[in-house]
Amino acid sequence: MEIEPQYQATLNYLYSYVDYSLTRQMRTAAKNFNLERVRKLLHLLGDPHLQYKVIHVAGTKGKGSTSALMASALQEAGYQVGFYTSPHLSDYIERIQMNRTPISHSRLTQMVEEIKPFVDQVEKITTFEVTTALGFWYFAQEKADVAVIEVGLGGRLDATNVVSPLVSVITSLSLDHMDVLGDTLAKIAAEKAGIIKQGRPVVLAPQSEEALLVVARVAEERDAPLTLVGRDYLFAPWSHALSGQSILMWPKADQPLVDAFIESAGRENWEPLRLTIPLLGHHQVENAATAYSALQVARAEGLAIPEADIVKGFARVQWAGRFEVLRRSPLFIIDSAHNRNSALKLRQAINDYLPGQPVILIFGASEDKDVEGMFAELLPRVQQVVATESAHPRAMKADRLVELAHRYGRPAKRVVPVEDAVEFALKKAGQEFAIVAAGSLFLAAAVHDIWEQKNPIQN
């Protein structure tokens, strides 16, 4: 992607501040996280984050998909919807969106010029803090009615955690960023639960008992009404194909009706709500259930969201890089799995959608990730590994990936750069193999960009 000089200068300015996601010192970053810098900057800007309703979303996996589903439904309901997400897939502007349209290069450049005098008044501010303030400020300027705000890292000390949420949402929790968030699931859950505010409702996706106990304790301490997905709102997958999947949703009170529906094999006159989503994989069923439950809580808090608009919004959601089908023949899929838990979910999706089909895995990961854990989940389902490296500073060397893959008894080949890895996999696949690219969001983004540039005919 060719970038105009003014926009490149804007990105250079933003990245001139500390950006822990681009450093090799994540483990030393925790002591530097606090909310005072971003609070000061936002106050200088007129506290824009307090000028609209907010749904605040934390979690290890699924928070982006869950946020995108909610934003899509809210837009369908006629609201002006801000959407803040990170990291981006292809272009920095993806982080700041209104009605699912990214801020333009020119508008971001203009706003950065305007914010500079205020940033100069805040010492030791970070790239993420400046970007968060820009997002909140943009939403206020665009007169957002509601904003769906995705946490960047953790929760308690994340720059987004200055909002006063209509509802807080915590998606699936697993071990990740352990150097910063803690080395146990309980510690990570405590950090994520830091977004729970006094007296404000919280929606929790299905969790392990260890994580559930921590979040429930924090919610009780803060007198925050807790809605559990899988207890208060229930769900079940209904059908799936490469074109999309459908799920059934119902409140706990409707369980007797659902029992009768199931016993009749679907022949009852009554049936639970059916949601259709283009996002693939069983984990997206859970994300959709969490998004739906959170919207129900938001409705109870006074946000009018017709059920029909939730159905339409979910059906129209777009969220690239998550078990995304780029091509049907040969089948080519990209996914942003980057830890052991998400690798397990990716393997389950491969089994569900590609039963019996041999797979070539294009794999690249950051050096601080649990690659051995990801390989333990993925490689039993893979015929060949193509090890590569994205341009990210923390990318693990492909030679090391080859060495680790060989420990699992799988043939592996180093192919760098990513463009060459894609070409190699396509030639190797023929019509027999499916290709899956995974290991990090950076790899998914690189493959996505290569595909866009190649602009192949879809089969």
Number of domains in the chain: 2
Q: Rounded to whole angstroms, how far apart are CA atoms 343 and 60?
A: 13
**Domain end residue (candidates: 199, 228, 257):** 228
**Domain end residue (candidates: 228, 247, 266):** 228
**Domain end residue (candidates: 168, 194, 228):** 228
Q: Are residues 222 and 343 in the same domain?
A: no
Q: Which residue has the higher pLDDT, 6 or 261?
A: 6
Identify whether 274 is part of a domain.
no
**Mean pLDDT, residues 226-250:** 96
Identify whether 212 is part of a domain.
yes
- Of residues 401, 399, 336, 411, the one with CA closest to residue 375: 401
Identify whether 141 is part of a domain.
yes
Q: Are residues 48 and 176 in the same domain?
A: yes
CATH number of the CATH domain containing 183: 3.40.1190.10
Q: Are residues 54 and 201 in the same domain?
A: yes
Q: Are residues 223 and 341 in the same domain?
A: no
Identify whether 275 is part of a domain.
no
Q: Are residues 71 and 205 in the same domain?
A: yes
Q: Is the pLDDT of residue 455 over 80?
A: no
Of the chain, the percentage scoring pLDDT greater than 70 comes to 93
CATH number of the CATH domain containing 432: 3.90.190.20
Q: Are residues 220 and 331 in the same domain?
A: no
Identify whether 378 is part of a domain.
yes
**Mean pLDDT, residues 390-418:** 93
At residue 263, what is the residue type?
E
Average pLDDT of the chain is 92
Identify whether 340 is part of a domain.
yes
**Residue span of the structural domain in which 352 resides:** 324-454
Per-residue model confidence (pLDDT) at position 181 = 53
pTM equals: 0.90
Tens digits of residue pLDDT in 255-276: 999 988 888 876 777 889 999 9
